[in-house]
C-alpha cells in the first residue's frame, strides 16, 4: 500500500476532525497536511497494537492542539465557513430540514468559543472521555465538563434562533 | 431544541468530510523536502496491514467487488453477447445499447451507472482504489457514494472525476459532451484544463479542448452563448450573482490583462470572503481561489436546497427577510 493510498483512505476523516477543531476551512487543510507529514515521520512508533485509525486519530488531535498552543494568541485569519462538501453528501431521501439542520449545526460548532468547541468536538463527536480531553487540552477534568455544558447550551441557543 | 434533539443531530454529523481541494500535492512536496527522508522500515508492513483491515472493516474500498451488469430494457450487448439476465462485467468488456435497450452497471460497492439508449461504454479499470469507465457515446446517469476520486469516466473530451456525487453525462458521436451534476461535485479534467461542476450546474465538453465554463441550470441564454464563444464582455454583461461559478471559472481562463475586469464583476456580484484580496485572486493563488469557491459553492447549495422553503440572497447566501 502506497502512502498516497493511505492518505486517500483517511483524508476525509482527518479533515473533518481538523475542520471541527479549528472552525476554519483554511486552517483545517493546513493541519490535515501537517498530520500526514507527521504520520510519515512517526511510522516507526506505530507497532500495530491498536487500530491504525485510532492511532492516526490521536495523532491528528495532538497536531491540531499543539499548533493551537504554539500559535498562542495568533488571530484567526478567516471567518469560519461551513463546508458545503459535507452537506452535499446528503443522498436521496434525506430532505431539506435534515440537511439545513446539519449545515446550521456545523456553523454553530465553528462559531463556539475555542475552548468550548474543542471539548465539544472531542467529547460529543469524537467520543473521548473527560480525563483524556483534560490531558490532551491541558485543562482540569472539571473544566472539561464545564466547557461541554457551556458548548451544548450555546449550540441549543444558536439552533433555536 | 432540547438536549436529546441536539445529541441526535450531532449523531448524524458525517465522520468524514471531503477537503475542498486535493491536499496530497502539498503533502508529497513536504515529504520530498525531508519529511520523507527516512526509508520505510519493517513498520510499513503492519501499518499497511492495519490500514487494509480498517478498510475492510469499513466495508468498502479495499476488497474487490464484482461489477455486475443488468438489462433494464431490451437486450443490451455485453462483449458480443446479448444480455438477458444480470451478469458480471469484466475489465475490457463493452456494454452497448441500441434504440430499445438500457442497462444498469453496479460499480463495485460504491455506486451504479444507468446506461441509456444508443450508448457504448467500456469497463477500463476495476480496482478498489480506482473504478474507471470509458464512454464512447451515448448517455449515462452515475450515482456514487464513496471517497472522492475513486470513480472516473473517460470521454473523448477528458475525464469526469467523482468527488462524491450524482450526475448525467451525454456524449455525441463526435465526442462533444454535456455534464449535468445533480448532487455533490464533479471535476472534469482534460490536460491542465479543469472545471469544478457542483450540484445544479452543467458544463459542455469538446474533444481536444476539454471542459468549457460551467453554468447553473437557470443561467440566462445570453450568458450560455457568451461562454460558448468565450465572449468575455458579453458574459460579464449577462452574468447575475447566481452565475458566480461561471465567473469564478472565467477568471482562471482569461489572459492576465482581462482578469481584473472579470474579478471586479465577480466581486460586485458576490463580494469575496474575508482573506481574499484582489491581488491574490488576480495572481490565481490557490488558497484565495479555494476560499472564493467555498463561498460561491455554499451560496449555490443553499439556494438550491432551500428553493421553495426560504428566499436566499444570491450575493451572500443568507436568508432574505
Does B291 sit within 8 Å of A12, measured CB to CB? no
**Nearest-by-Cβ selection for B306 from A8, A13, A96:** A96
Q: Is B191 on the interface with A (CB under 8 A)?
A: no
Nearest CA to A10 out of A44, A72, A38, A52 is that of A52
- List the grid coordinates of B16: 468524514
Residue A106: list chain B partners with CB under 8 A. Answer: 13
> Smallest CA–CA separation between B173 and chain A, in Å?
32
Does A96 sit within 8 Å of B43, measured CB to CB? no
pLDDT in tens, B74-90: 999 998 899 999 999 99
- Please state whether beta strands B130-144 and B151-155 pair in parallel, antiparallel, or not at all (unpaired): parallel
Stretches in chain B below the pLDDT threshold 50: 34-63
**Nearest-by-Cβ selection for A7 from B16, B27, B164:** B27
Residue A124: list chain B partners with CB under 8 A. Answer: 7, 10
- List the grid coordinates of B145: 457514494
Q: Is B321 on the interface with A (CB under 8 A)?
A: no
- List the grid coordinates of B119: 450508448
Does B306 sit within 8 Å of A100, measured CB to CB? yes
> Smallest CA–CA separation between B90 and chain A, in Å?
24
pLDDT in tens, A128-141: 899 989 988 888 99
Q: Look at residue A80 in the predicted model and tell me its pLDDT.
A: 41
Query: What tens-digit pLDDT sequence spans chain A (161 residues)?
Result: 467 877 888 899 999 999 999 988 888 999 999 999 888 877 766 655 556 777 888 889 999 988 887 765 444 433 344 444 443 333 344 444 566 677 788 888 988 998 999 999 999 998 889 998 998 888 899 999 999 999 999 999 888 87
Nearest CA to B20 out of B273, B242, B284, B295 is that of B295
Residues 217-236 of B with CB under 8 A from A: none
Dist CA B139 CA B37 (whole Å): 48
DSSP reduced 3-state for B88: strand
Does A32 sit within 8 Å of B17, measured CB to CB? no
Does A44 sit within 8 Å of B47, measured CB to CB? no
State the ipTM, two decimals: 0.81
* Positions of E strands within B45-129: 67-73, 77-78, 81-82, 87-89, 94-96, 102-107, 111-115, 120-127
**Nearest-by-Cβ selection for A124 from B10, B47, B294:** B10
**Nearest-by-Cβ selection for A85 from B20, B38, B274:** B20
Dist CA B219 CA B233 (whole Å): 16
**DSSP characters over B236-278:** HHH--GGGHHHHHHHHHHS-HHHHHHHHHHHHHHSPPPTT--H
> Smallest CA–CA separation between B18 and chain A, in Å?
5
Dist CA B230 CA B206 (whole Å): 14
Residue A22: list chain B partners with CB under 8 A. Answer: none
Residues forming a β-bridge with B89: B67
Give buried/exposed letters for B26-45 (b at 16+ CB in 10 A, else e).
bbbebbeeebbeeeeeeeee
**Is the model's pTM score more than 0.80?**
no
Interface test with B, best of A28, A54, A57, A88 (most B CBs within 10 A): A88
Nearest 10 degrees: CA dihedral of B30, B31, B32, B35?
100
**Nearest-by-Cβ selection for B31 from A37, A87, A90:** A37
Q: Look at residue A50 in the predicted model and tell me its pLDDT.
A: 58
- Please state whether beta strands B158-162 and B151-155 pair in parallel, antiparallel, or not at all (unpaired): antiparallel
> Smallest CA–CA separation between B229 and chain A, in Å?
31
Give the residue from chain B lying closest to A98, CA to CA. B9
- Report yes or no: B162 and B152 within 8 Å, Cβ to Cβ: yes
Residue B149: list chain A partners with CB under 8 A. Answer: 8
Does A13 sit within 8 Å of B10, measured CB to CB? no
Residue B185: list chain A partners with CB under 8 A. Answer: 85, 88
- List the grid coordinates of B7: 445529541
Does B3 sit within 8 Å of A156, measured CB to CB? yes
Does A155 sit within 8 Å of B185, measured CB to CB? no
- List the grid coordinates of B49: 496491514
Amino acid at each position: 500500500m502506497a502512502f498516497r493510498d493511505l492518505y486517500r483512505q483517511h483524508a476525509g476523516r482527518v479533515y473533518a476532525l481538523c475542520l471541527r477543531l479549528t472552525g476554519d476551512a483554511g486552517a483545517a487543510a493546513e493541519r490535515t497536511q501537517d498530520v500526514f507529514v507527521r504520520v510519515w515521520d512517526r511510522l516507526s512508533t506505530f507497532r500495530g497494537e491498536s487500530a491504525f485509525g485510532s492511532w492516526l486519530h490521536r495523532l491528528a488531535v495532538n497536531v491540531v492542539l499543539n499548533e493551537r498552543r504554539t500559535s498562542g494568541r495568533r488571530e484567526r485569519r478567516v471567518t469560519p465557513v461551513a463546508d458545503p462538501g459535507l452537506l452535499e453528501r446528503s443522498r436521496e431521501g434525506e430532505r431539506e430540514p435534515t440537511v439545513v439542520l446539519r449545515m446550521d449545526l456545523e456553523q454553530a460548532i465553528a462559531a463556539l468559543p475555542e475552548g468550548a468547541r474543542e471539548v465539544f468536538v472531542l467529547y460529543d463527536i469524537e467520543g473521548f472521555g473527560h480525563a483524556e480531553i483534560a490531558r490532551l487540552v491541558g485543562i482540569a477534568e472539571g473544566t472539561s465538563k464545564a466547557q461541554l455544558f457551556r458548548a451544548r447550551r450555546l449550540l441549543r441557543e444558536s439552533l433555536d434562533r | 431544541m432540547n438536549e436529546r434533539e441536539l445529541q441526535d443531530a450531532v449523531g448524524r454529523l458525517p465522520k468524514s468530510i471531503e477537503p475542498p481541494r486535493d491536499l496530497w500535492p502539498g503533502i508529497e512536496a513536504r515529504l520530498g523536502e525531508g519529511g520523507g527522508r527516512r526509508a520505510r522500515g519493517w513498520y510499513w508492513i503492519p501499518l499497511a496491514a492495519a490500514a487494509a483491515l480498517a478498510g475492510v472493516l469499513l466495508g468498502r474500498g479495499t476488497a474487490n467487488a464484482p461489477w455486475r451488469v443488468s438489462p433494464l430494457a431490451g437486450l443490451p450487448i455485453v462483449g458480443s453477447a446479448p444480455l438477458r439476465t444480470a451478469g458480471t462485467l469484466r475489465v475490457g468488456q463493452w456494454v452497448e445499447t441500441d434504440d430499445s435497450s438500457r442497462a444498469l452497471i453496479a460499480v463495485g460497492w460504491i455506486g451504479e451507472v444507468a446506461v441509456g439508449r444508443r450508448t457504448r461504454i467500456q469497463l477500463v479499470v476495476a480496482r478498489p482504489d480506482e473504478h474507471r469507465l470509458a464512454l464512447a457515446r451515448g448517455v449515462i446517469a452515475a450515482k456514487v457514494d464513496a471517497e472522492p476520486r475513486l470513480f472516473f469516466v473517460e470521454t473523448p473530451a477528458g475525464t469526469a472525476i467523482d468527488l462524491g456525487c450524482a450526475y448525467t453525462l451525454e456524449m455525441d458521436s463526435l465526442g462533444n459532451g454535456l455534464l449535468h451534476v445533480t448532487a455533490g461535485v464533479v471535476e472534469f479534467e482534460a490536460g491542465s484544463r479543469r472545471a469544478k461542476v457542483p450540484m445544479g450546474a452543467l458544463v459542455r465538453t469538446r474533444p481536444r479542448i476539454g471542459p468549457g465554463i460551467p453554468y447553473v441550470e437557470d443561467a440566462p441564454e445570453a450568458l450560455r452563448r457568451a461562454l460558448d464563444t468565450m465572449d468575455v464582455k458579453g458574459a460579464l454583461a449577462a452574468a447575475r450573482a447566481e452565475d458566480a461559478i461561471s465567473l469564478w471559472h472565467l477568471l482562471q481562463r482569461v489572459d492576465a490583462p482581462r482578469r481584473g475586469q472579470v474579478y471586479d464583476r465577480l466581486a460586485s456580484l458576490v463580494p469575496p470572503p474575508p482573506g481574499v484580496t484582489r491581488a491574490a485572486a488576480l495572481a490565481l493563488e490557490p488558497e484565495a481561489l479555494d476560499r472564493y469557491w467555498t463561498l460561491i459553492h455554499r451560496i449555490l447549495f443553499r439556494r438550491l436546497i432551500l428553493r421553495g422553503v426560504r428566499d436566499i440572497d444570491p450575493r451572500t447566501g443568507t436568508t432574505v427577510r
